[in-house]
Every structure is written in structure tokens, then in C-alpha cells.
Structure 1
């Protein structure tokens, strides 16, 4: 603003010099010109002061806006952190619920196997009682039998005893012992062998219960071999589907994620309607993500949500997708 006023003053002086008049008129015009220049300088000063005031107000507004933006950014960061913490907490709770549900399912499987054995025992007792009653009715009042009473029907041929791997066991007299695979590393135990389904194989419920008990006892190498036996002896049974699932769980715990994927795929593809399919899909997705196959894992989570939207596993899948920032 000072430069502008100087230029105006210089221009006024030039004009004054170019329009020089006689001495009696120059004095009057000079006074008028000086007055105008002074008024112009005062107007410029007022304008500069007004501009300075406005700039000050504008600076204050800009500073206030910057402070507001900073506070908003801090609030957003705090809110995002809170949301992440809530999602993590919710995911942990869902994981705990899923684990509890899975434990209940395992206990239910064990109870079903136990009830099956009790039913068989009660049926055997009932058959023996009926046989004894028939024998008593065939005897004469004097206590002498009319004829040699028929012998009590022997118990049906029992299956081969369940042989625990890595433990000494002798075959029973009822039949040949079940084929035993020596306990080695987990890969050898889980690998398919040439052992075919045998009519002398133990009942599937007993075999499955034995394997499940060892799994619950964290005897994973032994349980892996026993679940493999269930699959070989009864490949189309529901227990075979469950055995594939638990083999996947064992492989996952041991860091064998590729093998775990194959076990979970066996449950999903070969046993439609198996109650462990949702858990198999969830854990397969987790195995893929651990191996940095994020897109494949996300697809598995989306498939789980689409197929079983109301399952606890679907809730966990949603939580995990949200945590990764992926839409579902």
C-alpha cells in the first residue's frame, strides 16, 4: 500500500509540472492538488487498516478451522480405535462361543455312542431273559425237562477289539485282531493305506469314541491314526465325515495348513448335511488367510455366510471380514 501511495504522489507531481500556469494560479492549484493527495493518502491508509483487520479476522477463522479439523481427526481416530477394539472383543467372544458349541457337539457325539452301547447291552440282556423264560416254560412241573432244552443263543459274533496304536494288545478269541498301523509321524498315520473295510472291524461308534477321547485328551498323533481307521473301515458313515473334520483340526494345530484344507474339503464336498460343515468352512478360510491367501479365504467366508447365514460360524466370518476391511 505504501508503494501505491508513493506512485500516486509522483504522478500528481508530474501532472503539476506539466500544467504549469502563471504564478498567481499555480499556488491555488498546488494547494488543491496537495489537499487531494492528502485525502487520497488518508483513504489508502484507511483501506489498508481495514484490510489488515479483515486479514486478522480471516487468520483467526483459519486457525479455528484448523483446530476444529485437528480435534475432529483425533475424535475420528479414537472412534476408529474403539470400533476396532469392540470388533476384536466381539470376535474373541464369538470364537469362545464357537469353541464351546464345538465342545458340546463333541460331548453329544460321545453321549450318542455311549447310549448306543447301552441300547445294545439292554438288548442282549432282554434276549437272554427271553431265552431263560422259554427254557423254564419247557420244563415239567416235577422239575425234569421234557427234552434237552435248547442252548441259549450265543452272543452274535463280536467284532475285532479296538486296538490302540502304540499300546500292547492281544486279539480276542471272538475273531482276528484289527489291523494295526505302527504309530509313526502324523503324515504316515494319516496317509491312506491298503487296509480295506473288514467285516470284523469294530463298531463304528466304538472306534469313533476311542478316537474322539484321545483327541479330547490332546493325544493328537494317536487320535489322527484312529480317525484314519474310522474313515478306512466306514468311509460313508457320518462318523467318517466327523473324522475328516478332526483330522483337519489336528493338522491345523500342527501348522499343516495345506493338509488341513484337504481334510476340511472332504467334509464339505463328500458329506452333505454334516453338522460340522460350517466349522470346516470357517477353519478352511482361516487356514487360507494364515497362508496369505486372503482373497481365497474371504471367498470361503462369504460362501459360509451365504450357505449358513444364521450359524455362529457365519457370525465369526462376518467379524473377520470386517476386521480385514472386506465387504461381505
Structure 2
């Protein structure tokens, strides 16, 4: 029986390693399934140790739980992939808009020296007025300060970078993906303070809550998710923010409230990936008698 247990454990370990995409994702994605403190390898190792003292059904049940967690991780990877695709589309739209603006803008003008007066016209004007065209050179020239003003180049003002907002958001997002959670929190806080509304503001608020959640700072994470839902009720991130609020209640052992929130998600967003994750967490709570 020991050999059977070991084969099952090793077989599941191979299954968990078959997707290089999941392994390549940052720690925040791996922590989506409850943010366990031990790795899958360690849990499989414990299965081997317990195999001799536990019935086969218990080992299989634990392996099924691990499989569910892997499915959740794959769902998170797909979610991040879709988010990046959306960002790429927005970038292409901005590039096209910027090109159209440049095409419509008028060409630059050059500043030259003032045209020399026509001698014949000057003589005619002098004859008509009875004045002489002869005189000192200083009388014929405009004041020197006027010449200086005409010749002085106009100061050039650099146009604002149309991609500044996107660059700042992507930098914060890359910091989060690199598992630099404290730095990511600071960058997302600066972003939402600078850009309270507009492109990427809803996602920035969501990922701020996510970074706080990974750091197990549940109180500010709850505030960030609630603010995101209140400020951006039409955002596609709202279901995910509600799911994280339910997870926070679960982590705080507020199981009735967690069950209530999870049930609302499953009801209000049927057939969505978020609803499926909520249903799986509800099933897990039933198995745990919570």
C-alpha cells in the first residue's frame, strides 16, 4: 500500500509541474488559493509520510484539493493574460490617436529678419509727405530692443507624454509580478493618488488591494477593495474584488460572512470564472465544516 501511496503522490507532483506558465507566475498568483504557507512539494512530502497511517480515501481527498488549487491558479494566470491583452489594445489605440493628432497639427513656422523696405516706395512716401529720405542711420532703424525681441527664439515647451499614465501603471504591475509587494503597494498608492479616475485607475485600485492581501494586511486590503467597488461599480474587476473580500473574511475566520459573500458572487455572476472559484471555496468550507 505504501508503494501505491507514493506513486499517487509522485504522479500528482508531476501533474502540478506540467504547466511552466504557472510556475513562472509571481508569488501573488500562487497565493490565490488561500495563500498557504507551505509549497505543493512540501504538502506532497507530507502525504507520503501520512500514507502509512491514513486510509487511501483521505490521501485521495487531499490530492483532489490540490488539484482544485491548481485549477484556481490556472484561472488566475488566464485572468492576468486577459488583462495584459486589454492593456495592449489600449496602447495601440493611444498610438493611433497620437498619430492622428500629429497629422492634424499645422507645420512649424520660421522666424526671419524683417523685410527690407522698398526704396522706390519709400521715396514715393517721402515725396507725398514732403519729408526727406536722407537722415542718420539711427533714425532709419527700429529701436535695438525691438530687433532683439524679434530675433530671440521662442521657448520650446515639451508636450506631455501621452503614455505617462500607462507607463506608471505597467511599472507598478511589473513590480507586483516580481513579488516586490511593499514596493508595489507604494507605487499603486502613488498611482491612485495621482490618477483617481480614468484609464487603469480601477485596475490600480484592485492590484493595490491584492498586494496588501498578499502581505496579509487584511484591514487596508479590505478598504482598498471596497473603495474600488464604490468608485468603479462598472469595472470588470468588481467580481474579483468581491471575491477577495470573501477570502479576507475567511482568513479572519468570519465564516458566516465569508459564506454569505461567496453565495452572492455565485448567484450574481453565474457561469463566470469568479463564480466558479466562489463555489469551490464554498465546497471547501463544507468539507471543513465551516
TM-score with structure 1 length normalisation?
0.50
* From 190, 210, 218, the counterpart of 1:229: 190
Aligned CA distance change for structure 1 residues 213 and 86 (closer, same or farther; 3 Å): closer
The answer as to whether partners of 1:91 and 1:316 remain within 8 angstroms in 2 is no
* From 151, 157, 160, the counterpart of 1:158: 160
1 CA distance for matches of 2:282 and 2:94? 44
* Residues 39-54 of structure 1: pairs in structure 2 closer than 5 A: none
Larger Rg: 1
* Residues 191-230 of structure 1: pairs in structure 2 closer than 5 A: 203-230=164-191
1 CA distance for matches of 2:232 and 2:199? 8
Q: Where do 5+ consecutive residues of structure 1 fail to align?
A: 1-76, 136-150, 161-201
1 CA distance for matches of 2:190 and 2:100? 27
1 CA distance for matches of 2:174 and 2:70? 26
1:131 aligns with 2:107: yes
The answer as to whether partners of 1:87 and 1:319 remain within 8 angstroms in 2 is no
Give the aligned partner of residue 102 of structure 1: 79
2 CA distance for matches of 1:222 and 1:82? 40
Aligned CA distance change for structure 1 residues 263 and 105 (closer, same or farther; 3 Å): farther
Q: Where do 5+ consecutive residues of structure 2 fail to align?
A: 1-53, 111-152
What do you get for the CA RMSD once the two structures are aligned? Answer: 3.7
TM-score with structure 2 length normalisation?
0.56
* Residues 159-178 of structure 1: pairs in structure 2 closer than 5 A: none
* Residues 1-328 of structure 1: pairs in structure 2 closer than 5 A: 81=58, 84-85=61-62, 88-89=65-66, 91-123=68-100, 126-127=103-104, 131=107, 157-158=159-160, 203-325=164-286
Figure out how many residues of one structure are paired with residues of the other and give that number: 194
2 CA distance for matches of 1:156 and 1:119? 20
